Amino acid sequence: MKDCTVCKGEGKNFRKGFEFEGKVYPDKWEPCVSCKGTGKFSEVNEAKILERIMATKGKNKGKLRASMTSNFSDKEEARAYYVWRLARFHGGKDVTMPMMADLGVRGDPFKSDLDKLADQVAKDSFGTDLAAAARWGRAFGLV
């Protein structure tokens, strides 16, 4: 277990009050949306993530799922979606930037482990984890 990087393990965040259109919104403490108020993240369970992102029936059985719903209300589902989405991006299957996937793992101290897993899934599923770099490298001045 590691502390959430957003709330630093507190499980809550302070929201400064403000006034808008004559209405006063006071200071308040709210449960951290990143860790769902727990303050902690468990270590990455690669087997569980792979189980969630692999197809279980149809023509893609045993391969990376063709589609997946983003469910950020559950930390483990958010992790699975992140790995699935980044693997498809880095493998060249989905070439638009995976902006929403990153929101699901905000505050997760194990994000670098999820990145490594996504790279490995991309290599295993698509033969490369550099397709996105080839497409987007020029936009970021890398080519």
Q: How far apart are CA 108 and CA 78, in angstroms?
A: 10
13-46 pLDDT tens trace = 999 999 999 999 999 999 999 999 999 999 999 9
Per-residue pLDDT, 135: 80
Q: Tell me whether strands 23-25 and 2-3 are parallel, antiparallel or unpaired.
A: unpaired
Q: What is the pLDDT of residues 42-85, one digit of tens each?
A: 999 999 999 999 999 888 898 999 999 888 889 999 999 999 99
Q: Would residue 102 count as lying in a domain?
A: yes
State whether 13 and 76 are in the same domain.
no
Q: Which range marks the domain in which residue 73 is found?
A: 44-136
What are residue 133's DSSP bridge partners? none
Whether 143 has a pLDDT exceeding 70, the answer reads: no
- The pTM (predicted TM-score) of the whole model is 0.87
Residues 81 and 113 occupy one common structural domain: yes
Instruction: Tell whether 100 and 125 lie within a shared domain.
Output: yes
- Does residue 141 belong to any structural domain of this protein? no
- Domain co-membership, 72 together with 98: yes
Same-domain status, 125 and 86: yes
Q: Is the same domain home to 110 and 131?
A: yes
Are the C-beta atoms of residues 114 and 79 closer than 8 Å to each other?
yes
8 and 77, same domain (yes or no): no
